[in-house]
Amino acid sequence: PKGTDWRSGEYIVSNIISAVEDAKRAKKPFFITAHFDDVHHPYRSFMGRSVPKFPHRNRDISYYDRCLANMDNLLRPLFSHLRHTGVWDNTILIITSDHGEEFGEHGTTIHSQTCYVESVHVPLIVRIPGFAPARIDHRVSLVDVVPTLVELMDLPQKGLDLDGQSLLIPALAPELVSEDRPIFCAIFQLLRGRKNFFIRSVRTAAHTLIHEAYSNTFELFESKADPHEKNDIAAQNTSVVETLQPLLKVALT
């Protein structure tokens, strides 16, 4: 609403609480998607709030970390409310992000400019009542969120054409997960006054292949030996590049 800061997490939290209370009064289940911008560039939402300092030679990274700490503080009263009003033990909670943030690792800043790991590696925290905390080592994707909810709520899957897989598979039956499952990214820009680009990537257990369509250039990185994707080995491994290219075409269908 007019006069409200677009990075107003407090406002969003208050709306979530109101929606939960409305659902309780109506004795109906609720599904809430809340989009917070408090960790968004220009990394200023922490100002005027009590959060720790995180010294770093890059001021933006220091500010970004303080915004993350502020986000933690925003979520704390929300979780307390869910606990004290009796819905915590019957509520699935998912915390994730639509993208990571770039701080010059590959020459760019902010976000939505690359498919490198700093842009696509995002938090994904899923809390399910009755499940013990665990860290899942398998590579997963944001397209897995919807299939997970469909399975957890035992919803009819007829007519649903879902690309992802339930996160319960790597959590409870990791032996059924294919190590070669491809994970995709695509990002493009068509804006007047800016450089146009169309970048796609595919990640497998062994490699990451990144393709820039306008220049038709490829980069190849080893997934385990080079997790930060710093050493491009495409020139020395043309056969691997050729093997992975068909997967990029699969992502278009």
Structure tokens at 165: 């897989």
* φ/ψ of residue 7, rounded to 5: -100, 50
Give, for 24, the enclosing helix (H) or strand (E). Answer: helix 9-26
Mean pLDDT, residues 193-211: 93
160 falls in which pLDDT band (50, 70, 90)?
confident
What is residue 243's predicted lDDT score, i.e. its pLDDT? 95
Distance CA 27, CA 40 (A): 35
Distance CA 116, CA 221 (A): 10
What is residue 144's predicted lDDT score, i.e. its pLDDT? 96
pLDDT tens, residue by residue, 140-154: 999 999 999 999 999
Distance CA 132, CA 52 (A): 30
The model's pTM: 0.89
Beta strands, E only, the chain: 93-96, 102-103, 109-110, 124-127, 183-189, 197-203, 207-212, 217-222
Structure tokens at 184: 């995709």
